[in-house]
Each structure stands twice: as C-alpha cells, then as structure tokens.
C-alpha cells in the first residue's frame, strides 16, 4: 500500500445507489481543508430498479447483483479505511426515493446493513440537490474561492448541469471555512439541452446561420425565464457539469485525449471558451468526430450544447456586470457531495 493510500483515520466512504448503477468513493480531506483527496472511485451497473415499476419491489436477481457489488465494496472500504468496524461516521450509503417505495425495502436495508454496518440513507429531492451542488461546487480551486470571497465566509455559486433534454440551474453558497458546508438557495430546471435543441433547430451539417440564430433566440428566452426565478446578479462563480461542458472545456484546453483529471476544476476564461465553442458549433460532424477528446455519442449534439453553454456564460457576464469572467468545469456530483457531508460532520 502506498503512503497516499495508507489509512490515517480521516478516510470516509460514500456510496451512491441509483436505479441503474452503484458507485463508491473513498476519500480523505485535502491538505488545504477545502476539498477531497480521492483514494478510490468505482462504478458497477447492477440495475437495482429493473422491473420495479411493474412489480413494486426489487427482484431477487437485482438485489443479489447489488449485494454482490457491496460485498466487493466492503472489502475495499475496510482496507482503505483501515478498520473492520464500519460506522455511519465514516460510511454513508445514499439511495434514491425508489428504495422507499418498494414493498421489500426492509430486505434491501438489511442486506446493506449486513455488508456495510450502516443503513441506506434515502434522500429527498432537496437533499439530493444539495449533495449534488456540494460535489460540483467543490471543483472550485481554493485560490479562486478565496479571491471570489472578497473577505466573506462564503461564495455564491451557480451550478449548471447541462444535459441532453434539460438543464438544471442550482444557486447556492459554498463555505470558505467549513469543509463540505454548502446550502442550496434555489433551483430551476428547464427543457433545454443539447439533444433537444439539435433536434429542434440545428438540422444542417454544419448548422446554417439562420438555424444558429433561431436556436440562440430560443436559448435567450429560456434564460429570461431562469432569471425570473434565480438572482443571477448575485453569483460569484459558475460551475458547469456533464459532458457538454467538459467537452467544450477539453477543446478550450486543447487536450489530446479526454482527461478527467485535467478537466476537473479547470478554470477557463470566457473568450477561450467562446472560441472553442464556436469552432465546435460551426464544424461538420466529420470534423468533430476526428477530435481526440470527442465521445462518439456527442458528435451530432455538441454544437447545440456549445451554443447553450456560451449563451449561459454571456448572460452571467452581463448580469454580474463583468464579475463572471471565467467558468469552472466539474467532473464531480452527488457522490463527492456525500463524502463531503461526512467530512463536514467530522470537522
């Protein structure tokens, strides 16, 4: 075991159990006290929710797949935490609301408890948003947090989760002094995403000027609606998550491959993002496919995603009177927020 992975007593384990997959993160506090040092990250597809809608319960096969994964996770957790006894202070198992509604939830809970020593923590939508916000906002580099804080104890962060069919905007505060401390102030979801807007507007290859103009008008209308629900002018920093944002960031950084370590926490100024996004938007699909960091599933929709991302950033720059001049990319989410919640409780 390397020194980096030698247990110190500060390590925590977070498990995120969803409908399709179960994920594990083991981490300890970063030396600067504001984030995580990742020791182990893993994902298994177990399809726990398979057939739940029809049957109203987890199937025996789905439970067994999940428990098999947890058996393996428990070995890793005990090794990296340096203990045979696991407790809620060091391990948190977050489950979706589906785990509350099934008729055999007690069997599920008992299986988790037998393997990890903790009960499943079924979170509601508000807490899920809070954990996701904490995980994503944690990508802010410490020096940027301190600069943006301007002597205050918190910074206001807008987390933008730009997906295929919708985009979520979550406004919250991130503590500069307490590890894992964050609060969601407001959130709004809009039916605006890279797939939806490609199908709605960008039909040519490459898109025509008229198509781009129509898409831009539609995006700006949606952003007007967002501004009616969120105080965007108060934001100190913008953090973007999901594949569109990280792909545009990879283009802006000129990466030769898709490198999550290089992308997570990357701070890029708006002119550089503009240039990269503009190239992606106006390129042909063959030109996009040839880019070394481009996932095949994003080739046809990254143009719309790039346009959405830049319009969001231009709006933020406008409403903050130039205070927003950079954007931060994040590879992290609810799993990291769950680990931070454990560390925050212990700090």
Please write the tens of the pLDDT for every residue from 225-250. Answer: 999 999 999 999 999 988 899 999 99
Q: What is the mean pLDDT of residues 309-316?
A: 98
Give a yes or no: residue 336 inside a domain. Answer: no
Using the predicted structure, report yes or no on whether residue 280 has a pLDDT greater than 80.
Answer: yes
How much is the pLDDT for 338? 93
Residues 101 and 182 in one domain: no
| Burial label, 83 (beta-carbon count in 10 A; 0-12, 13-18, 19+) | middle
Q: Which domain holds residue 218?
A: 140-331
| Burial label, 287 (beta-carbon count in 10 A; 0-12, 13-18, 19+) | middle
Rounded distance, CA 252 to CA 186, Å? 30
pLDDT tier for residue 97 given thresholds of 50, 70 and 90: low
Residues 119 and 62 in one domain: yes
Residue 37's domain is classified under what CATH number?
3.30.420.40
Give a yes or no: residue 340 inside a domain. Answer: no
| Burial label, 153 (beta-carbon count in 10 A; 0-12, 13-18, 19+) | exposed
Those residues with Cβ within 8 angstroms of residue 185's Cβ, 6 or more apart along the chain or in another chain: 156, 171, 172, 173
Residues 179 and 99 in one domain: no
Q: What is the DSSP letter of 29?
A: E
Give a yes or no: residue 50 inside a domain. Answer: yes
Residues 189 and 90 in one domain: no
Using the predicted structure, report yes or no on whether residue 98 has a pLDDT greater than 90.
Answer: no
Residues 254 and 119 in one domain: no
Q: What is the mean pLDDT of residues 94-115?
A: 87
Using the predicted structure, report yes or no on whether residue 346 has a pLDDT greater than 60.
Answer: no
Give a yes or no: residue 346 inside a domain. Answer: no
Q: What is the mean pLDDT of residues 244-267?
A: 94
pTM: 0.77
CA nearest neighbour of 59 among 95, 113, 19: 19
Give the pair of three-digit tokens for residue 92. Answer: 């948190």
pLDDT tier for residue 262 given thresholds of 50, 70 and 90: very high
Rounded distance, CA 32 to CA 21, Å? 32
pLDDT tier for residue 344 given thresholds of 50, 70 and 90: confident
Rounded distance, CA 25 to CA 16, Å? 9
pLDDT tier for residue 3 given thresholds of 50, 70 and 90: low
Give the pair of three-digit tokens for residue 4. Answer: 């980096």
Specify the number of domains making up the chain: 2
The H or E element spanning position 154 is: strand 154-162
- pLDDT tens-digit readout, 124-155: 777 877 888 888 887 788 788 778 776 778 88
Those residues with Cβ within 8 angstroms of residue 178's Cβ, 6 or more apart along the chain or in another chain: 344, 347
- pLDDT tens-digit readout, 4-60: 678 888 999 999 998 777 899 999 998 876 678 899 999 888 888 878 778 889 999
CA nearest neighbour of 239 among 343, 335, 331, 341: 331
């Amino acid at each position: 075991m390397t020194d980096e992975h030698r247990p110190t007593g500060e390590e925590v384990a977070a498990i995120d159990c969803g409908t399709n997959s179960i994920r594990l993160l083991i981490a300890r506090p970063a030396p600067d006290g504001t984030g995580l040092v990742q020791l182990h990250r893993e994902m298994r597809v177990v399809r726990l929710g398979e057939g739940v809608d029809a049957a109203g319960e987890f199937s025996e096969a789905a439970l067994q797949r999940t428990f098999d994964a947890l058996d393996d996770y428990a070995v890793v957790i005990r090794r990296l935490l340096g203990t045979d006894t696991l407790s809620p202070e060091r391990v948190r198992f977050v489950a979706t609301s589906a785990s509350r509604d099934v008729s055999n939830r007690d069997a599920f809970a008992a299986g988790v408890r037998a393997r990890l020593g903790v009960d499943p923590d079924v979170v509601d939508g508000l807490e899920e948003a809070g954990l996701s916000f904490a995980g994503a906002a944690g990508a802010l580099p410490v020096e940027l947090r301190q600069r943006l804080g301007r002597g205050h104890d918190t910074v206001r962060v807008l987390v933008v989760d730009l997906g295929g069919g919708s985009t979520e905007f979550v406004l919250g505060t991130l503590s500069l002094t307490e590890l894992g401390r964050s609060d969601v102030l407001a959130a709004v979801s809009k039916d605006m995403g890279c797939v939806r807007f490609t199908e709605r507007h960008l039909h040519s290859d490459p898109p025509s000027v008229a198509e781009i103009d129509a898409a831009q008008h539609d995006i700006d209308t949606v952003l007007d609606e967002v501004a009616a629900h969120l105080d965007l002018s108060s934001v100190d920093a913008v953090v973007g998550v999901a594949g569109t944002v990280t792909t545009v960031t990879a283009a802006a950084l000129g990466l030769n491959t898709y490198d999550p370590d290089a992308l997570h926490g990357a701070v890029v100024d708006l002119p550089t993002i503009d240039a990269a996004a503009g190239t992606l938007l106006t390129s042909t699909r063959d030109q996009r496919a040839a880019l070394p960091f481009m996932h095949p599933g994003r080739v046809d929709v990254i143009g719309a995603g790039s346009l959405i991302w830049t319009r969001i950033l231009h709006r933020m720059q406008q409403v903050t009177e130039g205070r927003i001049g950079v954007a931060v990319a994040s590879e992290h989410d609810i799993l990291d927020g769950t680990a931070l919640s454990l560390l925050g409780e212990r700090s």
